[in-house]
Amino acid sequence: MMRRACFLAGPYAPRTRDRTSSSCLWHKDRLARMPVSRRGTELWRTAARAPRLCLSAERRGDFKVGDRVRVTQSVIMYHTPMSKGQPHDVRGLEGVVTKFVDEYQGVPISATRPIQVMLEGSKKFIAHFEASELEKVA
């Protein structure tokens, strides 16, 4: 069974007395020589040097911060100011890409919708999308 890379385990690494159990094969030999109390901290600190599994450029598409975009697919949201807790389809709304949330302090994270967009309906609100759900507006 292949284990995940250490940056996916983060501070939630197993804290057992068995020094050979590691959530990362890359750190397995290093963790065997380390005191049990430091293993979770060391995984978190060295995560930036771990092998990168996330291809963030593919998930961002060809969008950049500041691009005007339109939602092209049907996306149901419940947190919009227009819906008041009811389901609301944001298809057709336009907005501006504000940032990408596929990295945290230089470490790639597994955000399912990495593009953050400030949408402009009757009121402005922020939502997260995949690249396939958006298109650039000229």
Six-digit token pair at 97? 């890409």
pLDDT of residue 109: 82
Where in the chain are all domains bearing CATH 2.30.30.50?
A: 56-136
Q: Which residues of the chain have pLDDT under 70?
A: 1-58
| Residues present in the chain in total | 138
- Structurally, at CATH architecture level, domain 56-136 sits in Roll (2.30)
- pLDDT tens digit string along 20-32? 444 555 555 565 5
Q: Which residues contact 135 (CB under 8 A, 6 or more apart)?
A: 69, 70, 72
pLDDT of residue 65: 92
pLDDT of residue 17: 45
